[in-house]
A and B are shown apart, each in its own frame.
Chain A
Amino acid sequence: MDVSEEKRNRNSSNYDDTVDNPTVDWQVSGSNPVSASIGSYTQENLISACPSSCSPSQMMDSFGQTLWYDPTSVQQAVGYGGGFSVQNSGGNASSSSSFRGNIDRSLEMGWNLPNLLPPKGNNGLFLPNVSSFLPPSMAQFPADSGFIERAARFSLFSGGNFSDMVNQPLGNPESIGLFLQGGGTMQGHCQSNELGEPHNDASIVVKEPNVRSSEQSKLNVPGSGNVSEDTQSSGGNGQKGGETSSKGFDTRKRKRNGQNSEAAQSHRSQQSEEEPDNKRNKEQSPNSPGNKTNSGKQQGKQSSDPPKDGYIHVRARRGQATNSHSLAERVRREKISERMKFLQDLVPGCNKVTGKAVMLDEIINYVQSLQRQVEFLSMKLATVNPQMDFNLEGLLAKDALQLRAGSSSTTPFPQNMSMAYPPLPHGFMQQTLSSIGRTISSPLSPINGGFKRQETTGWEGDLQNVIHINYGAGDVTPDPQAAATASLPAANMKVEP
């Protein structure tokens, strides 16, 4: 379809400085059921999209130092990270209430979260690794998960300025946290991207909670990442401007961000429910469901409005992948199923059948049967002796002429035929056939031989006149009437022995 094609083209053009691997992975996984690929998908993305430059050992050391260094900040982290854990756990009220505020509670939170998160898939990667990693080095820190969350949260605040974050005491932990996301496997991969992208991951991770409640959105306002930029760039910043932090990591994010910067605020609360089910990397999309606009960012809100630019605006549904490819896929599938329903009404006896495959088989069989019927009937017609067509032609010409006089017919032939004869009397066929029956009496077969020849010799002129009238554009001569009327009595005369 043209629309989907163009969407695809636009999507590909938007992927300016994307890492190719993520898009490839996304494409592949986009075609798979979303639910099945959540866990592996996020890992792939994290791994492939973390070309950080800092070494993991550096991170760890700084992390350890900072942890040792600033115990007081952990409280803050806990406080801030409370929202994060809350959201990550999928709205677990108990966890949120317990988590907010105190370091004392962080312990239970820290232990709660790993239990809560693994089922979610996304977050399961994050915290268990963290908790397993940290205890050896900093046993005195009870709030492992809280700390990480705070670090993650912190990344939001620092915006795209990772260098500042590094200098800050808690700059590294987030990277460590992110580093730990993928478990040990991330070590090699995250090196290059740790500096540049960790906040993205953090923002991704934290994004879900932000979307959930306005409180988090407030917290995120100064922050970085897609979320904050969504809130801030309500004025319609450019796509790229609003998504500096997400560069290179999530091309879809970027596109969605830019497109939905206006829509984000208004839709955030609405679409917040979509997050828990969505993949972690598509953080932006839950906020602003994939609107496949080419340029209209404001149109993101009005997905139901008729598109001014002629494109169809699609919204990601709850619990579904929001990859642009999978969205196009979904649109296409919906189109196909809609058409199949339409076909179901056409094909008789398909109402009981359910399932695409059987339905399609039925449709194919029906088309084949119709074609066979045409062939069979044409065979029958061939044998039934087509000289009767003369009468038909005469009748046809007569009726057609009568109708033609009423309608103006000067259009070219093919269309002319359909357009010139709409005012045909209903049941023209029946009239024709009844008149055929009248003019042709039963004892035809013995006369057929001579009949034919006489007909051909005598009628061909008339027939040609008739045909000429019918086919010509406005070549209505006065003769046809005479010819038509003459042919009929002639037939009658010839038929009657």
Chain B
Amino acid sequence: MASADKTINTDVPEKDVFAIHFLQSLSNLRIQNLFNSPDTTNYRVRKIKKAAYVSMARAAGGTSRLWSRALLRRAAKGNNKIVRFPRRKRKVTWKISSKRRRSDQRAPVVEDAAERLRNLVPGGGGMETSKLMEETAHYIKCLSMQVKVMQCLVDGLSPK
């Protein structure tokens, strides 16, 4: 799924890479003996979901993307607790704050949507709107890839 746009590079690896990463993370979960113990389904679900996201971040290029970096950092931090995506504390430097002030003036319509996007896309807090949209594009691609992989898995594993 190579992007045809030259200026914005949003190439994502093939589905297989995502599949491998996901399966590996699942097996990792396996090792932890999660599924043998009669834990609450919620816990397992969350674990699987987290594994899915982390594997997606790794498959999508590790730390070469802002969102994947933020995702991995977030996952590494909250390893011991089950947290629901805590917002990464934004380093309020002068640059970023000035960007913020300026971006508030610019096209408030766009900026409102950008704010919502920032909440959705991991690591979007410190990005400017144009960079945010680039990250969103890549994130969308990776997410759709991951969804396909998981769908395949579920279809393959579900009892016929």
Contact = CB atoms under 8 A, between A and B. Distances in A.
Interface residues of A: mostly helix, strand, loop or mixed?
helix
A171 to B, nearest CB: 43
A456 interface: yes
A354 interface: no
A1 B59 contact: no
Nearest to A466: B27
A5 B143 contact: no
Contact of A396 (B23, B63, B120): B23
A380 B159 CA distance: 12
B27 A389 contact: yes
Contact of A377 (B21, B140, B151, B156): B151
A336 B154 contact: no
A396 B61 CA distance: 20
Interface residues of B, number: 76
B137 A343 contact: yes
Contact of A424 (B17, B99, B130): B17
A357 B113 contact: yes
Interface in A396-415: 396, 400, 414-415
Nearest to B132: A339
B147 A382 contact: no
Contact of A429 (B15, B41, B133): B15
A470 B24 CA distance: 8
Nearest to B72: A414
B106 to A, nearest CB: 6
Given A377-B154, A396-B20, A463 B133 contact: no
A361 interface: yes
Contact of B140 (A1, A336, A370, A436): A370
B16 A364 contact: no
Nearest to A384: B157
A381 B158 CA distance: 9
B130 A336 contact: yes
A140 interface: no
Interface in A425-483: 425-426, 428-430, 432-433, 436-437, 442, 444-445, 452, 456, 460, 463-464, 466-467, 470-471
A1 B58 CA distance: 26
B81 to A, nearest CB: 18
A339 B8 contact: yes
Chain B facing A: main interface SS: helix
A393 interface: yes
Contact of B150 (A5, A340, A377): A377
A386 B133 contact: no
B23 A418 contact: no
B97 interface: no
Given A329-B106, A332-B130, A360-B113, A386 B30 contact: yes
Given A367-B117, A470-B24, A380 B154 contact: yes
Contact of A384 (B13, B29, B63, B158): B158
A213 interface: no
A375 B150 CA distance: 10
A492 to B, nearest CB: 18
B62 A415 contact: yes
B75 interface: no
A417 B130 contact: no
B66 interface: no
Contacts of A336: 107, 110, 129-130, 133
A210 B26 CA distance: 73
Contacts of B128: 1
Contact of B27 (A343, A357, A442, A463): A463
B44 interface: yes
Contacts of B158: 380, 384
6 contacts: A374-B147, A377-B151, A389-B26, A417-B21, A437-B160, A470-B24
Interface of B: 3, 5, 7-8, 10, 13-17, 19-21, 23-24, 26-31, 33, 35-36, 41, 44-45, 48-49, 52-53, 58-59, 61-63, 95, 99, 105-107, 109-110, 113-114, 116-117, 120-121, 128-131, 133-134, 136-137, 139-141, 143-144, 146-147, 149-160
Interface of A: 1, 5, 31, 329, 332-333, 335-336, 338-340, 342-343, 346-347, 356-357, 360-361, 363-364, 366-368, 370-371, 373-375, 377-390, 392-393, 396, 400, 414-415, 417-418, 421-422, 424-426, 428-430, 432-433, 436-437, 442, 444-445, 452, 456, 460, 463-464, 466-467, 470-471
Given A382-B44, A382-B48, A396-B23, 14 more contacts: A329-B106, A357-B109, A357-B110, A364-B116, A367-B139, A374-B49, A381-B150, A389-B23, A417-B24, A426-B16, A428-B19, A429-B19, A433-B155, A467-B27
**Top 7 A-B residue pairs of the complex, sorted by shortest distance between their CB atoms:** A433-B156, A360-B113, A339-B133, A414-B62, A377-B150, A378-B49, A378-B48
